[in-house]
Amino acid sequence: MAMQRVPVPPSALGESPFWHPTEQRLFWCDIQGHRIHAWDPDSGVLQSWSTPSEPGCCAPTDQGRIVIGLRDGFGLLDPASGRTTMLARLDHDPGRFRLNDGRCDRAGRLWAGSLFAPKTAPEAALWCLRAVQGGGYAVQRMAGDCTTANGLAFSPDDRWMYWADTPAHRIDRFGFDLASGTLGTRSLWKAFAPRTEGRLYGGRPDGASVDARGNYWVAMYEGGCVLQLSPEGELLQRLETPVRCPTMVCLGGEDLRTLYITSAAHGRPEEERQAPVPAGALMHCRVDVPGLPAACFREAQP
């Protein structure tokens, strides 16, 4: 499982990679760079679009556009024109909050958690965006008690939704009903040891993805690794990364068995930025278990 660097420039803060189910390209966000990128592994062509504020997450839509979570709400990027239009604004203070990690469920809703910038209290929330019958969009606050929302993923049978709080070093799991889009009981699924003097530090959970067997792949920020966890939370394997701060993973490629890993350069020391594989690099390796096709956001119909 040799890890290689994708030949694209480093991102300031790479996040939210997904393999486009019809275009067969890899998309991801550069949050601090205010950009969405798409890379074609066959041609090597990299395409990029600017965004009006930090894009915390992105996902494909059923109409060929890209839905994105921004600082103050949800937007829709038209790759043909490069324009972003707002779909719904959030009832939060954009000076203290912005949207962060998110993904679509298989009913076409976009779920995205926020980040509380002061990081002094668990005031971030989980939001759900959906199209409404007759046109337009509705957004609803679904959960709270979080500081930096990450790790959002759904089990293959749609019975569970995973949600991580990175500063709390924990991943929670909700019961999930796909038909209604409602959440059940929230419980601790996996906890990781905090940074403690004299103890080996393994990082904290950032972005994640679930494979076809229900295994949860999570990037461990500052841990220099990606973990594959079973549906029961048992460690199946640990993949070392050449960067210290991997941020999120997705499974892509023609057979969905290429693991793509984004990483962060923002806030990292100069020696990491100048390393042979620099902070912010996009990486990939082959794995045994395929992923699941990326779910598309269902746009509103007039």
Tokens 């969405």 — which residue?
Answer: 36
Model confidence pLDDT, tens digit, residues 57-102 = 999 999 999 999 999 999 999 999 999 999 999 999 999 999 999 9
Tokens 């990450």 — which residue?
Answer: 150
Neighbouring CB atoms inside 10 A of 186's CB total 14
Residue 291 lies in a domain: no
For residue 165, count CB atoms less than 10 angstroms from its CB and return exposed for 0-12, middle for 13-18, buried for 19 or more: buried
Residue 301 lies in a domain: no
Task: Indicate the number of domains in the chain.
Answer: 1
Mean pLDDT of the chain: 96
Residue 297 lies in a domain: no
Statement: residue 1 has pLDDT above 80: no
Name the band, by pLDDT with cuts 50, 70 and 90, for residue 2: confident
Residue 4 lies in a domain: no
Structure confidence at residue 195 (pLDDT):
85
Model confidence pLDDT, tens digit, residues 189-239 = 999 998 876 667 899 999 999 999 999 999 999 999 999 999 999 999 999
* Contact yes or no for 128/111 (Cβ under 8 A): yes
- % of the chain at pLDDT higher than 70: 99
Residue 149 lies in a domain: yes
Mean pLDDT of the 106-135 span: 96
Structure confidence at residue 196 (pLDDT):
79
Question: Of 66, 52, 71, 55, which Cα lies nearest the Cα of 23?
Answer: 66
Residue 73 lies in a domain: yes
Structural domain for 211, as ranges = 11-189+204-286
For residue 39, count CB atoms less than 10 angstroms from its CB and return exposed for 0-12, middle for 13-18, buried for 19 or more: buried
Structure confidence at residue 198 (pLDDT):
60
Structure confidence at residue 197 (pLDDT):
65
Which tokens is 181 given?
Answer: 């889009």
Statement: residue 113 has pLDDT above 80: yes
From the candidates 206, 211, 255, 288, give the one annotated as an active-site residue.
206
Domain containing residue 263: CATH number: 2.120.10.30
Residue 235 lies in a domain: yes
Interatomic CA distance for residues 48 and 148, integer angstroms: 26
**Is 206 considered catalytic here?**
yes
Q: What is the dihedral of CA 282, 75, 104, 182, to 10 degrees?
A: 140
Structure confidence at residue 145 (pLDDT):
97
Model confidence pLDDT, tens digit, residues 253-301 = 999 999 999 999 999 999 999 999 999 999 999 999 999 999 999 999 8
Residue 293 lies in a domain: no
